[in-house]
Structure 1
Amino acid sequence: MIRHLLLACFLLGLVHGEEPRIAEFLPDLSAPEFKTRQAAMEKIQAFAKKNPDSFLKEIPPLLKKTKDPEIRLRLREVALGLKFKTTKSLFGFTFLLNRASKFENQIVSGVVLIDVVDGHPAKRDGLKARDIILALNGKPFPRNLPEEEIRKIFASQAPGKKVALVVQRDGETIDIEVSPMEVEVDQDIKEKLLLDFDDWLRKQTEN
């Protein structure tokens, strides 16, 4: 009898799917007592901090089920504070842009190195402060490319793999290869989704 009951519960779970793990705390988010709301919020925040990807996955189906503005506001608040672990390539320099740099008879954005950090790949492989990087792997940086996009280009290079840079130094153009190192960093919700959270959520809940 017990075996039959367990089997029935198992099959029911397969058919209907498991309820999101944070669902049990949602009713308390709109409770009249402050302590109850606060306790529920702390439990949800603890779960989200430990399991940010799972939390993000559970938000759309939960919000489809509730129209309570208090619950929606609280879940959004937690989501906007999420941090995701990821890796990126680190060269080890800070820079400014000179959007009037010249490269192969065209005007490009020159990456002017302000500081080159000791012990990091850029310094190790020969880059110096005041160097101007004109191109990466044969591709110049377009004149109107936003600074954030240039940062992403450097961060997206494969760790340990040589990156060919065209560098202007003291009026001369030289070629330098740099092998970036891999570092672990925190990524916020917008960087994770590559768009605004509210826009992402709207698309998810429309389906």
Structure 2
Amino acid sequence: MAKIGLKYPVAAPLKADGKTYDAGFVIARAIKASVTANNNDVKLYADDGIAESDKSFKDGTLSLNVDDMTQLVYAKMLGHTFTEASEDGKTPALVTASVNDISPFLGVGFYGEIIRDSVPSYMAKWLRKVKFAEPNDETDTRGETVAFQTPTIEGTVFQSDDGVWKEQAEFATEEEAVAWLNQKANIAAEAE
């Protein structure tokens, strides 16, 4: 299998029941997603050798690089307060970040094209419970050449109450992958 693309990063706030999601949203256009699973590494020694071992999932890290993160999406992902711009244009949209803000648990998903035996398909992934941390805020001056600067946000991946941390499904078309992610993230079809 060869991976050749990444699209449609979405997120949805996890409800207090730990099983369902509030209305989701498209984060931005995807550049790179990296999921790192951290596994337990415990060994039981008996009779001078390893008798048992545990390599189960402990937690993970999601690093998500996108082309842009709007003020509203930034606030939703980190639990900050967002205030709309005034209709007269005199007051801009405002995000207020407080030390008392608590990042919400989010379900996060995306999909990418894969090629297997010269046949393309689309692998969609849904991480059930992610909590993001405040991203680094770097801005460089323009030099002799233009260098694009894009945001990367990192989060911790948790297992949900039933022990599941990730779901992935393979589809023949992009439309099916998007529909599956919309269903997972509770996004209305017309929001695409």
Give the TM-score of the pair, scaled to structure 1. 0.20
Larger radius of gyration: 1
Query: Which gives a bigger RCO, structure 1 or 2 (Cα 8 Å, sep 6+)?
Result: 2
